[in-house]
């Protein structure tokens, strides 16, 4: 079936003022995910102790992750995997009210887009659907985010820049939001008032005059949903460990 794609040159519509409510925040909690990069080959002891500091892998790097399919595919920020060479990558995902670790493989990475696609061998029924790819998301659209550092305590914010409709298959768009992010939030979801996925947390920008930092904007990434789906479909068809080389 042909899809009528809206031109990215068209005028953004008026802002939908609906703010994400308690039910959408509950959905974000249900879909929480994290990425851990470590020298350890398993995280059993850490998990069994309730993720206590005494048992935590001291060598670990990490961030947030975002489930985007029912069969274990997650997006995260590529820079979360910066130190993955020769180490193990785990995704911690929500299951029965607790976070469960599973060893992940890297399907695809984009350094320029600051995105990475991960796969774990489990079912993930609590996952995100993208906002309509053929519609504008205008500046001022209310959103929340699901990063593991501050996502569950940050109040709703807004998009600080508009997101145009999708273009070609390889187009990745950066956008701004007015919610301050912290380390650990990278790779988490940006979500609209209907629980749909807007994009993936990437970075935070501060203005630092005379050693006093002022928050400016946070940055997130919106990949082409059709391109990501094509990567997933190809990986399913191969059913083998794919290359994890950075684009």
The answer to whether residues 199 and 171 touch, using CB atoms and an 8 Å cutoff, is: no
pLDDT for the residue 125: 93
Distance CA 90, CA 102 (A): 5
Average pLDDT value for the chain: 85
Q: How many CB atoms lie within 10 A of CB 135?
A: 15
Indicate the pLDDT class of residue 1, thresholds 50, 70 and 90.
very low
Q: Look up residue 244 and give its two tokens.
A: 């994890």
Indicate the pLDDT class of residue 19, thresholds 50, 70 and 90.
very high
- What residues are paired with 246 via a beta bridge? 109
The architecture in CATH of the region 31-127 reads Beta Barrel (2.40)
Could you identify the residue written with the tokens 């053929």? 134
pLDDT for the residue 28: 95
pLDDT for the residue 58: 65
Same fold, 22-26+128-227 and 31-127: yes
pLDDT for the residue 243: 46
CA distances from 117 to 149, 221, 232 (A): 21, 13, 9
Domain boundaries, the chain: 22-26+128-227, 31-127
Q: Rank 44-53, 65-74, 88-97, 215-224 by mean pLDDT and report only the highest.
A: 65-74
For the segment(s) 22-26+128-227, the CATH number from 3.20.20.70, 1.10.3720.10, 3.40.50.1370, 2.40.10.10 is 2.40.10.10
């Amino acid at each position: 079936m042909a899809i009528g794609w809206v031109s990215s040159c068209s005028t953004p519509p008026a802002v939908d003022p609906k703010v994400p409510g308690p039910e959408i925040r509950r959905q974000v909690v249900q879909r929480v995910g994290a990425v851990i990069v470590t020298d350890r080959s398993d995280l059993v002891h850490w998990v069994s102790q309730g993720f206590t500091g005494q048992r935590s892998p001291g060598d670990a790097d990490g961030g947030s992750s975002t489930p985007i399919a029912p069969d274990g595919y997650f997006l995260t920020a590529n820079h979360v995997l910066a130190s993955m060479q020769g180490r193990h990558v785990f995704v911690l995902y929500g299951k029965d009210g607790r976070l469960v670790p599973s060893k992940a493989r890297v399907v695809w990475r984009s350094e320029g887009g600051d995105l990475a696609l991960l796969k774990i061998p489990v079912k993930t029924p609590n996952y995100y659907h993208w906002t309509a790819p053929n519609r504008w998301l205008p500046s001022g659209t209310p959103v929340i985010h699901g990063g593991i550092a501050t996502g569950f305590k940050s109040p709703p914010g807004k998009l600080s820049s508009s997101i145009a409709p999708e273009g070609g298959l390889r187009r990745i768009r950066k956008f701004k939001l007015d919610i301050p992010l912290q380390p650990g939030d990278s790779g988490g979801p940006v979500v609209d008032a209907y629980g749909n996925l807007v994009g993936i947390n990437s970075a935070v920008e501060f203005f630092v005059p005379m050693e006093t930092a002022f928050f400016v904007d946070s940055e997130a990434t919106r990949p082409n949903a059709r391109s990501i789906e094509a990567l997933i479909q190809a990986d399913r068809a191969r059913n083998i460990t794919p290359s994890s080389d950075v684009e």
